[in-house]
Amino acid sequence: MLYYFRRYPLSLVIMAVIFYLSFFTPPKSNLEEIPNIDKLVHVCMYGGLCSILWFEYLRTHRMINWSHILWGGILAPIAMSGCIELMQTYLTTNRSGDWLDFLANSTGVLLAVVFGYYVIRPFLWRKF
């Protein structure tokens, strides 16, 4: 377990923040008037998380192990997202799960894979 705290500290912090944000009651704001703004927030949260995962993975690995990327960088965040949506539905009274949120989260993860491979990887491997 200590291995993950050393290799992926920012990712773990972002996961904790996502869990917190997923269960607290957000204050009312004028942004709610913008159609589907919450979906954009979901794409950004999970895209940001997975971009940081890519960064932390690639700064310590010279070769990409696609099995690790598939399980830890794609499927695990998508599964986390699905679990959070189910917990919002069945375990809270102030939040509701939404399959479109899950789709937005998954879209963020997949966009981060493209960004990680085509932007972060060349940048880090060229720099180091």
Predicted confidence (pLDDT) per residue in 66-100, tens digit: 999 999 999 999 999 999 999 999 999 888 889 99
CA distances from 59 to 45, 62, 88, 116 (A): 21, 8, 34, 12
Q: pLDDT category, 31, cuts 50, 70, 90? A: confident
Q: Which two tokens stand for residue 105?
A: 């989260």
For residue 39, pLDDT beyond 80: yes
Mean of per-residue pLDDT scores for the chain: 93
For residue 109, pLDDT beyond 80: yes
Asked whether the beta carbons of 96 and 121 are under 8 A apart, the reply is no
Residue type, 41: V
What whole-number distance in Å separates Cα of residue 68 and Cα of residue 42?
Answer: 24
The structure's pTM equals 0.91
For residue 128, pLDDT beyond 80: no
What whole-number distance in Å separates Cα of residue 29 and Cα of residue 33?
Answer: 8
pLDDT at 18: 97
Selected residue with higher pLDDT from 45 and 28:
45
The mean pLDDT value for 29-48 works out to: 90
In the chain, what are the domain boundaries?
A: 39-127
Q: pLDDT category, 27, cuts 50, 70, 90? A: confident
Q: Which two tokens stand for residue 7?
A: 């290799």
What whole-number distance in Å separates Cα of residue 6 and Cα of residue 38?
Answer: 32
